[in-house]
Amino acid sequence: MDYFADHIPLLRPWIDEDELNAVAPVLRSGWITQGPKVHEFEKEVGALVGAPHAVAVNSATSALHLAFQVAGLKPGDKVIVPAHTCMATVNGFMLAGGIPVFADIDRRTFNLDIAAVEEVMDGSVQAIALVHQIGLPADLDAFWHFARKHQLILVEDAATAFGARYRDRYLGGHGNPTAYSFHPRKMITTGEGGMVILWDEEQAERARRLRAAGASISDFVRHQAKGVLQQTYPEPGYNYRLTDLQAVIGSAQLRKLPKMLEARAYQADYYTGQLRVVDEVQPPYVPAECSHCFTSYCITIPKGSPEIISRILDDMAADGISCRRGIQPLYREPYFQESHQGMYLPNTEAAAAQTLFLPIFPGLTRLQQDRVVKTLIQAVRKHVPRAMSA
Ligand SMILES: *Cc1c(COP(=O)(O)O)cnc(C)c1O
């Protein structure tokens, strides 16, 4: 009996025989850590997004760390970043010595707002962590020009946005170092995993060394050479390796990507259509130059508050539907409380107080979506104060 038969989860990775069948030969081969399958997976992703170098690692956090380090971020350098993101974005560049400078987001896209970034810009800023939040590309053109003008390192955090497109190119294909996550919460998954896209040969070589203890030659190449090659260590590194076991799962997931994108676009469209009749709910906004990959489907309740969102979440949970409150401002995390006391970014605060995520994942049925919509509308009508006009 399926205990969760009647439960609608927020998300569920799409794993089937494809992944199971991919893993068995790797286990039998005897080479299970980083090896030829990781190399193949990197080639596939690079070809898909149209980028010259793709370096697979064990998480997007690691990918961000490597991206900032090889791009030349130095300890003490300031990095502009939205506060409307998870700690991992900030962890990524703080590991490379960066210090966050939080800037506000655009009210409609929930991504960094160029005007807000100009406000916090000063001579000590060396980089931007441009987050493409919950599957929607940020305003890349504006930030590319801004970064060029001020000679800043521009790193794209596309952890949640693998498969999203900006001006008809996949994120990662726009010339900047870019990080993806393959955590089950994201678009495609390898259990844990990530990848960094790089455009400079030397930076890519360095990232490959850094992910594997700093060694000049990978385990697999050394093994193939039967011990004739001796690796050296030009600098200390990390253990950020992805395994061949994970890479074949990634390749199998990649073959499903078109279907995943299609399923999510279809589901998002359906929610948006069904929710159009409810004035209290705003569906996600997608600028014309972007395609959203809908890793999450985020609604806004303009009259919402943390308490109202709590009540809606409770009603959804009572009907067996898992939803989630929107992203909370990072500057309120205990780590930043002292250094950022009193900080208040209005659009970041509004997003935190008024948004929630609905279930979306390949395999979510029309019937389940109808139930989500019905329960949501009831909860909203019950808990959100009606407009006084009309
Ligand atoms: C999930 C996430 C990350 C971190 O990904 P991991 O693979 O778990 O390290 C970084 N940035 C954003 C925006 C994310 O959503």
Query: Would you write out the chain's pLDDT as a tens digit for each of its 390 residues?
Result: 455 568 999 999 999 999 999 999 999 999 999 999 999 999 999 999 999 999 999 999 999 999 999 999 999 999 999 999 999 999 999 999 999 999 999 999 999 999 999 999 999 999 999 999 999 999 999 999 999 999 999 999 999 999 999 999 999 999 999 999 999 999 999 999 999 999 999 999 999 999 999 999 888 888 888 778 888 999 999 999 999 999 999 999 999 999 999 999 999 999 999 999 999 999 999 999 999 999 999 999 999 999 999 999 999 999 999 999 999 999 999 999 999 999 999 999 999 999 999 999 999 999 999 999 999 999 999 999 886 544
Write down the pLDDT at residue 218.
86
Kindly state the greatest CA–CA separation across the chain: 82
The number of the ligand 1 atom at minimal distance from the alpha carbon of 63 is: 9
Q: Which residues fall within 8 angstroms of residue 244, CB to CB, at 6 or more apart? A: 26, 29, 31, 32, 33, 34, 35, 36, 37, 38
The residue behind tokens 């279930």 is 359
| CA geometry: angle 143, 148, 154, nearest 5 deg | 55
Ligand 1 centroid to residue 224 C-alpha, Å: 34
Write down the pLDDT at residue 202.
97
Fold: same for 17-253 and 257-383: no
Ligand 1 centroid to residue 133 C-alpha, Å: 10
Residue 282 in contact with ligand 1 by CB distance below 6 A:
no
Write down the pLDDT at residue 228.
80
Class of domain 17-253: alpha beta
The number of the ligand 1 atom at minimal distance from the alpha carbon of 160 is: 15
Write down the pLDDT at residue 390.
43
Residue 178 in contact with ligand 1 by CB distance below 6 A:
no
The DSSP code for 333 is S
Tokens of 268: 């998002």
Helix, strand, coil shares of the chain, percent, nearest 5, are 40, 15, 45
The number of the ligand 1 atom at minimal distance from the alpha carbon of 62 is: 9
Task: Kindly report, residue by residue over 30-66, the tens digit of the pLDDT.
Answer: 999 999 999 999 999 999 999 999 999 999 999 999 9
Residue 160 in contact with ligand 1 by CB distance below 6 A:
yes
Alpha carbon nearest to ligand 1 atom 11, residue: 89
Task: Kindly report, residue by residue over 75-93, the tens digit of the pLDDT.
Answer: 999 999 999 999 999 999 9
Ligand 1 centroid to residue 91 C-alpha, Å: 10
Closest alpha carbon to 38 in 223, 175, 50, 46: 46
The domain made up of 257-383 is a member of CATH 1.10.8.420? no
What's the distance, Cα to Cα, between the start and end of the chain in Å? 51
Domain residue spans in the chain? 17-253, 257-383
Residue 85 in contact with ligand 1 by CB distance below 6 A:
yes
Residue 96 in contact with ligand 1 by CB distance below 6 A:
no
Task: Identify which of 61, 84, 155, 178 to mutate to test ligand 1's pocket (most ligand atoms within 8 A of the CB).
Answer: 61
Ligand 1 centroid to residue 29 C-alpha, Å: 31
Alpha carbon nearest to ligand 1 atom 12, residue: 159
| CA geometry: angle 332, 314, 274, nearest 5 deg | 100
The number of the ligand 1 atom at minimal distance from the alpha carbon of 59 is: 7
Residue 190 in contact with ligand 1 by CB distance below 6 A:
no
Ligand 1 centroid to residue 246 C-alpha, Å: 17
Residue 38 in contact with ligand 1 by CB distance below 6 A:
no
Distance CA 91, CA 79 (A): 12
Ligand 1 centroid to residue 195 C-alpha, Å: 11
Task: Kindly report, residue by residue over 300-355, the tens digit of the pLDDT.
Answer: 999 999 999 999 999 999 999 999 999 999 999 999 999 999 999 999 999 999 99
Ligand 1 centroid to residue 124 C-alpha, Å: 26
Yes or no: say if 202 and 177 are a contact pair by the CB < 8 Å rule: no
Write down the pLDDT at residue 208.
97
Distance CA 363, CA 260 (A): 9
